[in-house]
Amino acid sequence: MITIRIENLTKRFGEATALHGLNLTIGAGEIFFLLGPSGCGKTTLLRSIAGFYIPEGGRILFGEEDVTRLPPHERNTGMMFQSYALWPHMTVAQNVAFGLEERRVAKPEIEKRVAAALESVKMTPYAGRKINQLSGGQQQRVALARAMVIRPRCLLLDEPLSNLDTKLRIEMRGEIRRICKEAGLTAIYVTHDQKEALSVGDRIAVMEAGHIRQAGAPAEVYRRPATKFVADFMGETNFLEGKVAAVNGESVQVETDLRLFTGVAAGWTPAVGEKVQLSIRPEAWKLGMDAAATNAVTGKIRERVYLGEMAQYRFAARNIVLKMYELNPRFAFVSDEREIFAGVDAEDVVVLKES
């Protein structure tokens, strides 16, 4: 269990800069997610930590040890690839033992550690099977056991669930978190799947074009995005343009084409008269409220998708269409001509810089 520090890390490929002076600290025993769209630099950062890429500037520290220029095999990291990279001609146990054999660990110790690793991922009954006799989820567990059996200083995972079906992916999210926590591993996990990051990670960093736009606890990043990009990438949201009318600490009043909204500017202080963006998540709206409710707007439901436990609406308020979600829906089948009030708490109205 180690702390990993990234200091002013820069990586280039020819004329293209993939990482722009990144700074990041990952706590000991933390499951940390690198999240972002394709090409944002998250895999480049992971491979730099693993030692597959040598950066042009900056440092990578494992604890107090500078590993920036150490080759991969001297960093003692466990790596789990998207493709699993398992040997098809070997049995499950042989695949898991491979890294220990390369390190010339004594045979009795190998047998002991392989057995423990397979037990931790619930694959003991399959130790003698060949890889092509396993399902995708079972292969994923073998790859995880192989990465863990060497007792790495940290575990690096590069989109390990992307090849699994939805049901198995959800199941394995919990398994990976359980295994990492039981083993006390510092883990860095690359994904473009927001739900994966939100449900498994202790903290996440959202990346864009080689920059870290925001890092923090999952709920913090989702509920208090620092930029429009982060708000949009982390899930569905409504953006409204406006101008600041008043500021009182974090509480900000913003005039929009719909109404005067009261919201929250976390981590910065806008100026009166400044143009801003409001971000309001669809699930934050509360339908059926009266006109006196906080940040209330009136409108009509124009489109609806009924999903049983919830409904998704396109809500027309004046000339603006808003996305709204309703749990245990009561308004899914009301007339298109019925006017409905919808309100949103001030803490769910996030005030962002215009660009």
Q: Which of 46, 4, 153, 209 is nearest to 55 (CA)?
A: 46
Q: Which of 22, 13, 7, 18 is nearest to 213 (CA)?
A: 22
- Same domain for 147 and 245, yes or no, is no
- Same domain for 250 and 347, yes or no, is yes
Q: Which amino acid is at 315?
A: F
Q: How many domains does the chain divide into?
A: 2
Task: Provide the CA 11 distance to its chain's centre, in angstroms.
Answer: 22
Domain boundary pick from 172, 201, 228? 228
- Same domain for 150 and 92, yes or no, is yes
- Same domain for 71 and 216, yes or no, is yes
| Phi–psi pair at 175, nearest 5 degrees | -65, -45
- Same domain for 192 and 174, yes or no, is yes
* Helix H or strand E encompassing 218: helix 218-223
- Same domain for 214 and 280, yes or no, is no
Domain boundary pick from 209, 228, 247? 228
Determine the Cα angle at 341 with ends 335 and 342, to 5°. Answer: 110
Q: Which amino acid is at 109?
A: E
The token pair at 80 is: 């789990």
CATH code of residue 103: 3.40.50.300
Beta bridge partners of 63: none
Each residue's pLDDT expressed in tens, for the chain with a length of 355 residues: 799 999 999 999 999 999 999 999 999 999 999 999 999 999 999 999 999 999 999 999 999 999 999 998 888 888 887 776 788 888 999 999 988 888 888 988 999 999 988 988 888 999 999 988 888 888 888 888 888 888 888 999 988 877 777 777 887 788 888 888 888 889 999 998 899 999 999 999 999 999 999 999 999 999 999 999 999 999 999 999 999 999 998 899 999 999 999 999 988 999 999 999 999 999 999 998 777 778 999 999 999 999 999 999 999 998 899 999 999 999 988 888 889 999 999 999 999 998 7
d(CA 111, CA 288): 64
d(CA 147, CA 145): 5
- Same domain for 167 and 280, yes or no, is no
CB atoms within 10 A of CB 135: 10
**List of long-range contacts for 259-263, beta carbons under 8 Å, 24+ apart:** 259/295, 259/296, 259/297, 261/295, 261/346, 261/349, 262/294, 262/295, 262/346, 262/349, 263/346, 263/349, 263/350, 263/351
- Same domain for 95 and 205, yes or no, is yes
The pTM for the full model equals 0.87
Q: Which distant-in-sequence residues (6+ apart) come within 8 Å of 79 by Cβ?
A: 50, 72, 147, 156, 158
Determine the Cα angle at 32 with ends 212 and 202, to 5°. Answer: 115
- Same domain for 251 and 338, yes or no, is yes
Domain boundary pick from 228, 260, 275? 228
CATH code of residue 327: 2.40.50.100
d(CA 178, CA 187): 12
- Same domain for 202 and 322, yes or no, is no
In angstroms, what is the C-alpha Rg of the chain? 24
Q: Which amino acid is at 112?
A: K
How high is the pLDDT of residue 89? 87
The Cα diameter of the chain in Å comes to 77
* Helix H or strand E encompassing 6: strand 4-13
C-alpha distances out from residue 140 to 92, 185, 192, 322, 329, Å: 11, 18, 18, 41, 38
- Same domain for 80 and 57, yes or no, is yes
- Same domain for 146 and 218, yes or no, is yes
The token pair at 106 is: 């004594």
Domain that holds residue 300: 236-353
